[in-house]
Structure 1
Amino acid sequence: MIRSKYFYMKKVYDKEGKYLGIIEDLVLDFFCGKIIGFKLSLSSLFSKKNFVPIDKVISINEKVIIEESVKFNGLYFKDIKRLEILNLNGHMLGVLEDLIINRENYNIVGLIVSTGIIEEIIKGKKIFLIEDCILGEQSIMYIGNKNIELKILAKGLVNREDGRKEKA
């Protein structure tokens, strides 16, 4: 599993070795839970081909090698990053901070939710499964089970039964 920031600022080349630009953003199909491609920040001022479909990507390592880029406009991760995540009662659970992506098929597995600096230090960040979320125009609705929580804790810390943290 990888996070969305793994892709940002990677240099993109076509299969002939020509430098095209860098990955500026991820293009999502939120309803299918997939990354469908990448938005490029182009090195050429005159090219309008700013999208790389995921099926045209040959290799993603330190550099990204692609078959071709096309003109496209869609839902970018930056458009929904920092959207509020609400429960069914309308209470804010946090804001969308990052995505967890399956490296094999580029499916979005989960949403990393920031709950606030102090709460993150004490309790960690929350993770919601994408199938438990509905994207709206101004927020994301979480419809999952409130009794099941996935969290990211600070490195080297574990939760004790009394809720306090200690070194692993």
Structure 2
Amino acid sequence: MLTTTTVRPADTADLPAIAAIFAHYVETSVVTFEEAPPSVADWAGKLADLRDRSLPFLVAESGATIAGYAYAAPWRPKPAYRHTAENTVYLSPAHTGRGLGRTLMTVLIDACADAGVRRLIAVVVDDGAGPNPSLVLHRALGFAEAGRLTAVGHKHGRWLDTVLLQRAV
């Protein structure tokens, strides 16, 4: 049976699923430097803040399941950065490898353009352990490497780099 995937704005009913997706990565991986999963209330605050800023927060819904999410948040708090945002994208572990990341990011890029964002920044953790799906995705979508910060994070007993990428919107 073919399941249709829909990308739409996130709402408060989606937050428990979003929190669960992110908690998986916080607890089991180094792709985020968070060490404790944010609560649903924390996610509600983020959703409200991004709405107030007219920045997109999207979910990919596969059937009745939230399969992933993506959002754009302010890059830096200084006013001169107001046209630059940092993107975030996460997929449920059960929904990776199906092109949903590309779908979410493509819709997010378009939504950022509609919101007046001129540049998107991606900060991707690179653990040096082989092919990095997030780097592959971002590069395929036109993000170019802007720099590397070496050994700036420490999680699960390892020092980790971040790669900064950017693209015009």
TM-score (norm 1): 0.28
Question: RCO higher in 1 or 2 (8 Å CA, sep ≥ 6)?
Answer: 2
TM-score (norm 2): 0.28
Could you say which structure has the higher strand fraction? 1
Could you say which structure has the higher helix fraction? 2
